[in-house]
Amino acid sequence: MAERPLASPDDTQAPSGELLSGAIALALPFLAAALGRIPLRHGRGLQGQALGRSAGELPAGALGRVLLVLALLGLGSASWLVWWTGQVDRREEEAQDALTLYGVHLVLGVLWSWMLFVRGWVGPAFLALVGLGGWMQAVAARFRRVNPVARMLLLPYQTWLLFLVAWNGLLWRRGCCGERPRTGCGG
C-alpha cells in the first residue's frame, strides 16, 4: 500500500477549531489521569497495604505524577497530532477511528486504577492491564497510519505500561490482595 503524501504547504492552513482541539487533546488524558489518581488518595483496596516499602518500593504519589506527565506530553500531543493530520490531509475518518480506540483506552486505564487501588483486585487488575497494553498497541498502530510521529510520542507511555504490568504482576505474585495481604505486601 502506497503512503499518501503529506499536504502541500498551500494546503496546511490551520484547520478550524485548532486551538479548541488542542485544548481537548490535552484535557482528556489529563482528566483520565486525574480520575485514575483518585484511588491513590482515597481508595481502600491496596492504598496502605501494597504500596508500602516492601511492595516494590513504589510510593503511591509516583504513579499519579508520572502518569500526569506522560498523559500531557505524550498522549495529549499524539492525539492532537492525529486529529490535526486527519484534518490537513483530509483523512478525517481514519483519524476518527484512531481517536475512538484511544478514547476507549483512556477509559480502560481509569478502570484499571480503580480495580487495583479501590477494590484490591490484584489478579484481575493485572489481567486488565495486560489487555490495556494490547489495546494500546492497536492504538499505536492506528496512530502510525495517520501520523508516524504521533506513534513515536506514545513510546514513553507504552514503556510506563510495561513497568506497571511488571509491578502489578509482582503484587499479584506476592499475594497482595485486598484486605488481608500476605507478608511482603507492605501491610
Query: Does 93 map to a domain?
Result: yes
pLDDT of residue 177: 55
CATH code assigned at 148: 1.20.1260
- State pLDDT tens for residues 138-160: 999 999 999 999 999 999 999 98
Query: Does 33 map to a domain?
Result: yes
- Residue 158 near residue 86 (C-beta atoms within 8 A): no
- Measure the CA–CA gap between 40 and 21, rounded to whole angstroms: 30
111 membership: H or E segment, kind and range: helix 92-114
Whose cell is 508520572? That residue is: 66
Query: Does 142 map to a domain?
Result: yes
- State pLDDT tens for residues 42-93: 555 454 444 544 444 455 566 667 777 777 778 888 998 999 898 888 889 9
Query: Does 69 map to a domain?
Result: yes
pLDDT of residue 64: 66
Query: Does 51 map to a domain?
Result: yes
What is the torsional sign of CA 35, 36, 40, 42? positive
Residue 146, domain extent: 23-173
Regarding predicted confidence, which is higher, 17 or 100?
100
Query: Does 4 map to a domain?
Result: no
Q: How many domains does the chain have?
A: 1
Report if pTM > 0.75. Answer: no
Whose cell is 476507549? That residue is: 104
Task: State CA 1 to chain mean position distance.
Answer: 30
Of 87, 85, 64, 76, the C-alpha closest to 153 is: 76
pLDDT of residue 139: 96
Query: Does 50 map to a domain?
Result: yes
- State pLDDT tens for residues 8-45: 444 555 555 676 776 777 777 777 776 766 666 655 54
Query: Does 55 map to a domain?
Result: yes
